[in-house]
Amino acid sequence: MTIQLGQIAPDFVQDSTEGRIGFHDWLGGSWGVLFSHPKDFTPVCTTELAEVGRLRPEWRRRNVKVIGLSIDPVEAHRIWEADIEATQGQKVNFPMLADNDRTVSQLYGMIHPQSDPAVTVRSVFVIDPLKKVRLILTYPPSAGRNFAEVLRTIDSLQLTDRRSVATPVNWQPGQPVIVSPNLSNEEAARQFPQGYKTLKPYLRIVDLEEGMADGRPAAA
């Protein structure tokens, strides 16, 4: 199955290190990050799982639930989690799906036969509260994933869902953004009373007002 941006993320029921999970029910009204590993006891993924655990406060701040996947059973996951804590100094504090029957892997197109028909590729899916797939990434086995980039993209998605803007290359929260080309100049002036800069008719730049630079209201 080929997953495409904007489609509803396939639902499933699968065993995990936190019990049996019905994916859509588990997500509830949260954003979600589903990411897969070829198999347990792999070196690059060992470092990745620890980093995802370290980022727990950042996921929570954005209302994101994270869930990992590997084709090995729960018992193997638990042994691997102990190795991760011992070598990386960080507990795995999120569920890991035990997809040994390949239910989820097949639903999400994580098996690439020309790569290895026996294991999953290293995929990342970002899913919004409406259960729509908003980001898809697939990494090679030798390159560790950049979860700071996943967080940055979620910041962009959450901001652009709230405001009529897009984010430019290398954007970071708090930096100027692009006025949506769907807005007329008149509507842009209403939405951005602080003013915006027109570089070209199709490229208008705006600094968002203080307290909304990252799409979230300022703390009281």
CATH assignment at residue 175: 3.30.1020.10
β-pairing, 21-22 vs 177-179, is unpaired
Same domain, 78 and 129: yes
In angstroms, rounded to a whole number, what is the distance separating the alpha carbons of residues 59 and 52? 9
The answer to the question of residue 6 being in a domain is no
pLDDT, position 216: 44
Point out the domain boundary residue: 145, 175, 205: 145
**Whether residue 170 sits in one domain with residue 124:** no
Residue 113 confidence (pLDDT) = 57
Q: Given this model, what pLDDT does residue 215 score?
A: 40
pLDDT tens digits, 134-160? 999 988 888 899 999 999 999 999 999
- Measure the CA–CA gap between 157 and 153, rounded to whole angstroms: 6
The pLDDT score that the predictor gives to residue 141 is: 82
pTM of the model: 0.89
Among 9, 33, 34, 45, the active-site one is 45
Q: Which ranges of the chain have pLDDT less than 50?
A: 210-220
Residue 155, in any domain of the structure: no
**pLDDT of 84:** 96
**Does 86 fall in a domain?**
yes
Structure tokens of 61? 């701040």
Q: Which domain holds residue 80?
A: 13-145
Into how many domains does the chain fold? 2
- The rounded distance, in Å, linking the Cα atoms of 102 and 171 is 37
218 and 122 in one domain? no
Question: Hey, is 45 helix, strand or coil?
Answer: helix
Asked if 45 is an active-site residue, the reply is: yes
Residues 139 and 172 in one domain: no
| DSSP per-residue string spanning 125-194 | EEE-TTSBEEEEEEE-TTS---HHHHHHHHHHHHHHHHSSEE--TT--TTS-EEEPTTS-HHHHHHH-TT
Residue 8 lies in a domain: no
Q: What is the dihedral of CA 147, 70, 136, 115, to 10 degrees?
A: 110
- Sign, CA torsion 174/60/33/134: negative
